[in-house]
Amino acid sequence: MNEELRILSEVQKLDTKILENERKRAQAPVRIEAMEKELAEIRDKVAREKEVIEELEKERKRKEKELEAEKEKIKKSESKLHEVKTNKEYQASLKEIDAARAANDKTEEEIILLMERSEELKKDYEKASALLAKRDKESGAELKAVEQEMRSVDDVISQLKKEKAELMAHVAAKHQSRYQMLLDRRGGVAVVNVKNGVCLGCFMNIPPQLFIEAMKNHQFVACPSCNRLFYYVENEQE
């Protein structure tokens, strides 16, 4: 048994865990971003609805004022009716008053419609506002949880790296750099098992003589296809 090879196989286990934790760590900003995006969308919706409600209210007030003025005019016209001299003039004035009343009826209907739309939107607005307040509060707690998780993952990673450094202290520098280079170039997998003559790193068949050599774990044997180092384990648990 080559001791350095055995140690490197242990280091590989640590590196596999480090990689897993680093992937987990990288998820945190993605989760935070998604949360912030969701909140921003609700906030936008609330702001837009508020704007529309305000516009509807403004429009309603404008129409109410207009209606009041028109009603005032009709009153004046009605009070002047007795001053009219001819029947023709009288008929014309009546016609004008009728037309003004019809226009006012229309304006009143429009005011009611505006009120209805505004009421409906207000319900939506209140719902969205409540949701915003709720999600705002929740996301504060979620953010804290994600940050807490991030910190504990960081702790795990630094602990694993410490263990790795301790093990590596027993490995010659040239083997260390060979291992590290393989790790970087082969997706975080430098030491692999070999089973039934197949490299479990690249799943290529290796020559039978090489397989026999690799099974002994007496020396560094590399896969001819992917260059990963073999560390033979008969019954791999993990």
Tell me which residues touch Zn ion (CB under 5 A): 199, 201-202, 223, 225-226
Pick between residue 201 and residue 232 the one whose CB is nearest to Zn ion.
Answer: 201
Pick between residue 161 and residue 185 the one whose CB is nearest to Zn ion.
Answer: 185
Burial class (CB in 10 A: 0-12, 13-18, 19+), 228: buried
Pick between residue 93 and residue 188 the one whose CB is nearest to Zn ion.
Answer: 188
Residues in the chain: 238
Nearest residue to 197 via CA among 186, 185, 205, 189: 205
CB 172 to Zn ion: min, Å: 23
CB 132 to Zn ion: min, Å: 54
Nearest residue to 35 via CA among 149, 146, 153, 151: 146
Nearest residue to 7 via CA among 164, 156, 150, 157: 164
CB 212 to Zn ion: min, Å: 17
CB 190 to Zn ion: min, Å: 11
CB 167 to Zn ion: min, Å: 23
Pick between residue 39 and residue 200 the one whose CB is nearest to Zn ion.
Answer: 200
The DSSP bridge partners found for residue 230 are 192
Contact residues for 209 (Cβ-Cβ < 8 A; gap 6+): none
Pick between residue 114 and residue 199 the one whose CB is nearest to Zn ion.
Answer: 199
Pick between residue 53 and residue 199 the one whose CB is nearest to Zn ion.
Answer: 199
Nearest residue to 185 via CA among 224, 230, 228: 228
CB 225 to Zn ion: min, Å: 4
Q: Virtual CA dihedral for 236, 202, 216, 10, nearest 10 degrees?
A: -50
